[in-house]
Chain A
Amino acid sequence: MPAGDLDPVAVIANGLSLTFGSGPEVTPALEGIDLTILRGEFVSLIGPSGCGKTTLLRAIADLERPTGGTLVVNGLTPELARRQRAYGYVFQAPALYPWRNVERNVMLPLEIMGLSRAERRERAQRNLQLVGLSDVARRFPWQLSGGMQQRVSIARALSFEPSLLLMDEPFGALDEITRDGLNLHLHELWRTTGMTTVFVTHSIPEAVYLSTRIVVMSPRPGRIVEVIDCDLGAERPLEIRDTPEFTAIGSRVRHALHAGTPHA
């Protein structure tokens, strides 16, 4: 996608709204979303349940249709961007196919995109190495822990080298220690690849640790309350979470969350 590579903007939302259902059953999920995501950014969407953070991510991925406003992904409509395979998507659950071993799960998008056998194998190995799972390539998903399964799904999302990585609470179901390890890993991955990432979470420390910018959202209908810069530099060991800078950003996010949900 030559045009997309030159364009410094990855995603633009302008007055974006999205409602589910119709008639009296209508539920507004997103309202008046204005957001610009630049290439190379790591942007977290944070907010309580029902704030539309997942819906916004799914709209970017063309898994939901906005009902108002405009949304541009890589200079294209979300549908065209999806057709060009502009993004890799990591779901809340690993969504691995149990009948495929780890390597063949990573190769799934490559098969669909018609890459040669040698190319598929090479890319699967490279991306499994990237997430530190080369040694389990022949195992099956049910033989891996939840954290390893989610790393496989990240390798799968990276395998076709999309320009955008969309992650929907990928570590939400994992325990704290596994989650710390994966956060460290994901940060390294982002630093080495420089891949534009949109990351949905409801964990404040996770958002502060990973992001360059944090988008705080509020529920009913989903709106953006505040966008907070998170300038902790490129080097982020886990201990950075004990620094005053980290705590300060965390408390700004917390205040914005509380301001956005007065009844919570």
Chain B
Amino acid sequence: MREALRRTLPVIVVVAALLAVWYAAALVVDAPQGALAEKRPLLPTPQQVAGALLAGILQPPTSPRSLIYHAGVTAASAAAGFALAFVLGIGLAIAIVNVRLLDRSLMPWIIASQTVPALAVAPMVVVVLGNIGLTGLVPKALIAAWLSFFPIVTSMVAGLRSPERIQLDLLRTYSAGGWDVFAQLRWPASMSFLFPGMKVAATLAVVGAIVAELPTGAQAGLGARLLAASYYGQTLQLWAALVMASLLAVVVVGVVDGARGVLVRVRGGRL
């Protein structure tokens, strides 16, 4: 009990302090309008945001005002993007580790790809793909994958290269082939590197999916909701969608942590 308190107390204190600052700021910012009960406060108070969030969540999921519906649309593109990034990222990492030429030729491009702002690329991708008839989920998933594959490639390259000389020598004494070196050593050794990378990649997939919804004129998704809310000055909706997006990221990271937990159990308590 005391132990639990010791662990949760710092979190509670920080959250309480943040809420207090937020609340005070809202009072100051909104004072000229005299508008705590207002529909469009400049800076809504925590309980106003919570109210809007709850209202959005409690809508029937078929309603266009339902935050669950919009989060679901975003989650679908994020999940598709993440899956694509996972396959692409791991495939690239395996290629880079096995072919020295690819390490020098591919890696600079992979790094360069991340210096291009996704917000700038997203409309181009959407327009180009739209012209060849690809709309809806596909362009959004591609943009999510664009952001998401980088941490997977880098963590996986480091992981596949992590085995020590002695572990490689051991397999050599068994005269093990390339496949065995990969399957018995490099792949299992890479897991403790892959999961932190996947956590970052999963949140980036959510960011990517939201960014992709902004320029597409999308009717659905948290990005579309954010854009519409900011266009019409609906600050409560805006904040509610923002909080919903971070809740979605929490869920997504939780899924990755859950997968990690399964592997840790299989491995007897350590990754």
Contact = CB atoms under 8 A, between A and B. Distances in A.
A194 interface: no
Contact of B184 (A89, A91, A112): A112
B166 A109 contact: no
B32 interface: no
A186 B268 CA distance: 29
A63 B271 CA distance: 30
B185 interface: yes
Contact of A97 (B169, B172, B188): B188
Given A111-B184, A112-B184, A98 B270 contact: yes
B173 interface: yes
A111 B188 CA distance: 15
A97 B173 contact: no
Interface residues of A, number: 27
A142 interface: yes
B269 interface: yes
A97 B175 contact: no
A93 B166 CA distance: 8
A143 B267 CA distance: 12
Q: Interface centre among B175, B185, B267, by most A CB within 10 Å?
A: B175
B46 to A, nearest CB: 45
B188 A112 contact: no
A238 interface: no
Interface in A85-126: 85, 87-89, 91-93, 95, 97-99, 101, 108-109, 111-113
B160 to A, nearest CB: 15
A263 interface: no
Interface string A173-208: 000000000000000000000000000000000000
Interface residues of B, number: 22
B173 A63 contact: yes
Contact of A99 (B169, B173, B175, B188): B188
B267 A99 contact: yes
B159 to A, nearest CB: 12
Contacts of A88: 173
Contacts of B271: 99
Contacts of B191: 99
Nearest to A108: B184
Nearest to B166: A95
A32 to B, nearest CB: 26
Contact of A91 (B169, B175, B188, B269): B169
Interface in B226-271: 267-271
Contacts of B167: 95, 97
Q: Interface centre among B166, B174, B267, B270, by most A CB within 10 Å?
A: B174
Given A101-B268, A140-B269, A95 B170 contact: yes
A255 B245 CA distance: 76
B170 A140 contact: no
Contacts of B269: 140
A112 B173 contact: no
A71 interface: no
A241 interface: no
7 contacts: A63-B173, A91-B166, A99-B191, A109-B174, A111-B184, A113-B174, A160-B174
Nearest 3 pairs between A and B by C-beta?
Answer: A140-B268, A89-B173, A95-B166
Given A63-B172, A63-B173, A97-B188, 6 more contacts: A95-B166, A97-B185, A108-B174, A111-B184, A140-B268, A143-B268
